Chain A
Amino acid sequence: MKCGWVENLIPEYFEGILDQYQLDLVTQHLENCGDCKLELDAIDRLLDLVDNVEVEYPSAMKWNGFWGDLRRKIALVQVDQRSSFLNLGWYYSNIWKFAGIGCMLLLAVLLCLQLFGNVSFLMYPYRDTEDFRAVNQFFGEIPIVQILEQINFEEQEIGFVWESDLVSNLESVDLHNSFPDTVAESWYLTDLTELDFLAYPSGNLDNVVLTSMK
């Protein structure tokens, strides 16, 4: 084994961080190599020297005034905190309280909207009769076969078809970019085959654009 290789391992040897295989090799080498033994002794003395450097302390007056100095700094911080409108430390330490109050307020607002407003969060959102009217305005009372014949334009807003009885007899529907699970949930649309809806925006089916017919 070369001395250079062992020399590189001597610091690790001293730190006791060699694996057993390396340790055996180094120990064996050190028994037979005077130069490496010298290097080992040198690092031994170095670490001994470095480890024994005494800590220097400040003057006794300063040392004894440690708490006094710190007390003044704490007082300054406290004054700053009291005078500061944006006391971030205080906000930070109360962040969970704020989060809890925020959540409760949000829940209260949602509940009010659900109970008294025209917005529904807790049930299927498209139950508004407006939607049915929109469909009926478009399809009128025309039988479904005739509707299919009539829809031969490239783009047409058909309004809300989700719960339309008028399209419920169709065999299946191909809703590109739609949510499969949402479509599957709608038993009204399970039989549609003829309508091909492309890219309806943001998951709202009340604004579907019909772009082609098969």
Chain B
Amino acid sequence: MKDVPDRVFVQKVTSGDTEAFGELVRRYHKRIYELAYRFSRHPEEAYDLSQEIFLKAFNALERFRGSSGFYTWLYKIGQNTCIDYTRRKSTWSELPFINDFPSDDSWLHPSTAHGSTTKFLENKELSHEINSAIDQLSPRQKQVFVLRHYEGLALRDIADVLDLKVGSVKAHLFNAIRKLRVRLTPYIQ
């Protein structure tokens, strides 16, 4: 099944076989979830956001022409959805940083769960602080920072995605780093 190219499943889905979409989801939902997490900084929201991304992709699949790979196309939808999400979120009242996940490590991704739980808990406060600091960036700064540092996009690509000038991207990135520097000073001394 792993060797079957994406386009085969895409064709099946467009012919009415919804279950074939399940295989595409299985292939990419971790990557899409991680993209969503970088923007939302919260597992519950990242889960919902990644579901939204796949739902959008499913509804738009008939318009997928195959000029790029399926994942490239899906990733683009993911990026746009996440950018919309940060815009939407900026208009919401500040969400509390919810920490109500079960204390056992069953909810962790296997790669994390295999590590030391103690070490994880030690790092949890730090992760919380970092997530919180990134969350407090302005929507634009957050978009630029996430796309640059977590998605590894070049400045010009970020400018294209966000419809900004490269100079503006630089300025947002500069201000984002400055803010994080101030907020996280105790952790980098």
Interface residues of A (CB under 8 A from B): 8, 11-12, 14-15, 17, 42-43, 45-47, 49-51, 53-63, 66-67, 69-71, 73-75, 77-78, 89, 93
Q: Determine whether the beta carbon of A69 is less than 8 Å from that of B173.
A: no
Task: Chain B residues near A55: list those with CB within 8 A.
Answer: 33-34, 37-38, 109
Q: Determine whether the beta carbon of B170 is less than 8 Å from that of A67.
A: no
Interface residues of B (CB under 8 A from A): 18, 21-22, 25-26, 29, 33-34, 37-38, 42-44, 46-47, 50-51, 54-55, 58-59, 62-63, 101-102, 106-109, 112, 123, 126-127, 130-131, 134, 148-150, 155, 170, 173-174, 177-178, 180-181, 184-185, 187-189
Q: Determine whether the beta carbon of A66 is less than 8 Å from that of B177.
A: no
Q: Determine whether the beta carbon of B63 is less than 8 Å from that of A70.
A: no
List 17 contacting pairs A-B, 8 Å CB cutoff, sorted by A. A11-B177, A15-B148, A15-B155, A53-B127, A53-B130, A53-B131, A54-B112, A55-B34, A55-B109, A57-B33, A57-B107, A57-B112, A66-B25, A70-B55, A71-B18, A74-B21, A77-B59
Given contacts A53-B127, A66-B25, A74-B18, contact A58 B188 (CB under 8 A): no
Q: Determine whether the beta carbon of B188 is less than 8 Å from that of A60.
A: no
Query: Which one, A50, A54, A67, A78, contacts B25 given CB within 8 A?
Result: A67
Task: Chain A residues near B50: list those with CB within 8 A.
Answer: 66
Given contacts A43-B181, A50-B149, contact A56 B170 (CB under 8 A): no
Task: Chain B residues near A93: list those with CB within 8 A.
Answer: 62-63
Query: Which one, A11, A42, A63, A70, contacts B188 given CB within 8 A?
Result: A42
How many A-B residue pairs have C-beta atoms within 8 angstroms? Tell me. 115
A47's nearest neighbour on chain B, judged by CB, is B149
In the assembled complex, the CB of B118 is this many whole angstroms from the nearest CB of chain A, namely: 15
Majority DSSP secondary structure for residues of B touching A? helix
Q: How far is the CA of A11 from the CA of B50 in the complex (A)?
A: 31
B148's nearest neighbour on chain A, judged by CB, is A15
In the assembled complex, the CB of A145 is this many whole angstroms from the nearest CB of chain B, namely: 70
Task: Chain B residues near A75: list those with CB within 8 A.
Answer: 18
Task: Chain B residues near A45: list those with CB within 8 A.
Answer: 188
In the assembled complex, the CB of B134 is this many whole angstroms from the nearest CB of chain A, namely: 7
Given contacts A11-B173, A11-B174, contact A59 B102 (CB under 8 A): yes
Task: Chain A residues near B63: list those with CB within 8 A.
Answer: 93
In the assembled complex, the CB of A79 is this many whole angstroms from the nearest CB of chain B, namely: 12
A89's nearest neighbour on chain B, judged by CB, is B59
Task: Chain A residues near B47: list those with CB within 8 A.
Answer: 58, 62, 66
Q: How far is the CA of A15 from the CA of B178 in the complex (A)?
A: 13
Q: Determine whether the beta carbon of A71 is less than 8 Å from that of B37.
A: no
Q: Determine whether the beta carbon of B55 is less than 8 Å from that of A77.
A: yes
Q: How far is the CA of A43 from the CA of B134 in the complex (A)?
A: 15
Q: How far is the CA of A59 from the CA of B107 in the complex (A)?
A: 3
Task: Chain A residues near B184: list those with CB within 8 A.
Answer: 46, 49-50
In the assembled complex, the CB of A21 is this many whole angstroms from the nearest CB of chain B, namely: 16
Q: How far is the CA of A43 from the CA of B181 in the complex (A)?
A: 7
Task: Chain B residues near A70: list those with CB within 8 A.
Answer: 25, 51, 54-55, 58
